[in-house]
Amino acid sequence: MTHPAPTGDRTPSTDTAHPEALAARVVAVVVTYNREALLRECLDALAAQERRPDAVVVIDNSSTDASGTVADEHPLGADVVHLRRNVGGAGGFAAGIARALVRHDADWVWVMDDDTVPRPGALHALLSALEASPVRLSVLSSRAVWTDGRDHPMNTQRTRLGASAQEKRDAAQAGGRPIRTASYVSALLNGQDVRRLGLPYADYFIWSDDFEHTGRLLRHGRGLQVPGSIVEHRTALFGNAQSGPGGRFYYDVRNRLWALLRTTSFSPAEKLLHGGRTAVGWLLLLLRHRDLFGIGLRGLLAALRRGPRPSPTVLAADGEAAADVRAIERAAGR
């Protein structure tokens, strides 16, 4: 593990837009678990970017294959953190985003999964949209496609409901469309806003951590989906989270209920809308897979029993990661 010296806090810019976006300090964060071949492809793609990230953080979620070695030995020279236990994508992103801010002084944090392979112009397109935007942005996301070029159903993002004509014009001027949430398959996060509003909840483990966190960042902020920024999401199958969740359905139920019932990331009307859509989706899924009923019930009871634990508690086995997370969360008043 490399240990760059902490850079300390600095006062971020308060400009309403981003006229120097292409010169901003961008730190990519990749979370990996037992995907050594895909991780190598991801890191190769980061190294091949037209506009490379200024630094790369890889969170190795206690992999049992050679993923950690791939990250350590890749010529990209990433800052690799080997966690002592697997804390899932949510814990990995909490640790990685915190490290990017605390130890790499990031203006923007580009988060992605280890099965994300950005095309060469992906980051440049995000920053170009940021620079062209007439308004301040909090989150920008890429267009995620599968290996055959089709839009990936796991990462579809709806145009922000209720976006005004002016918001749509502003987004169009930057080459995108307004969004309300984003997928962490590829998202560019405003470091200033994360410092102000906090990190994703590590206790979500997998699923809905990005839904809740970007929902929090975009409750009063602007988000942009940039179709010119393309990444391949190289999942084994073409489908969404509802295609065959198995035991992971527990996290789908628990975490979505946590996000809707225990946070202020969404307005009451949005909670009703998302809750209704989610309930219909779960009903259709249970009609196809009756064996998921017991798993979903466990998720429901877990969500009602308690909310997510503080992220430093979840990461307590890794003192350095927990300290970084604690620093950001305290600054955000969480």
Q: What is the pLDDT along the chain (334 residues), one digit of tens a residue?
A: 443 333 333 333 334 456 577 789 999 999 999 999 999 999 999 999 999 999 999 999 999 999 999 999 999 999 999 999 999 999 999 999 999 999 999 999 999 999 999 999 999 999 999 999 999 999 999 999 999 989 888 888 888 989 999 999 999 999 999 999 999 999 999 999 999 999 999 999 999 999 999 999 999 999 999 999 999 999 888 766 656 688 999 999 999 999 999 999 999 999 999 999 999 999 999 999 999 999 999 999 999 999 999 999 999 999 999 999 999 999 999 9
Q: What does each C-alpha distance from 298 to 17, 37, 63, 302, 331 come to in angstroms?
A: 45, 34, 27, 6, 34
DSSP state of 245: -
Distance from C-alpha of 67 to C-alpha of 40, rounded to nearest angstrom: 8
Alpha-carbon 260 to chain mean position: 18
Name the average pLDDT for the chain.
92
The CA distances from residue 73 to 54, 66, 69, 171, 307, in Å, are 18, 11, 6, 40, 39
User: What's the whole-model pTM score?
Assistant: 0.91
**Dihedral sign for Cα atoms in the order 107, 112, 118, 122:** negative
Residues across the chain: 334
Q: Beta strand 223-233 with 116-118: parallel, antiparallel or unpaired?
A: antiparallel
Question: Quick one: pLDDT at residue 241?
Answer: 60
Domain 21-240+308-331 has CATH 3.40.50.300: no
pLDDT for res 21? 77
What's residue 157's pLDDT?
81
pLDDT of residue 175: 95
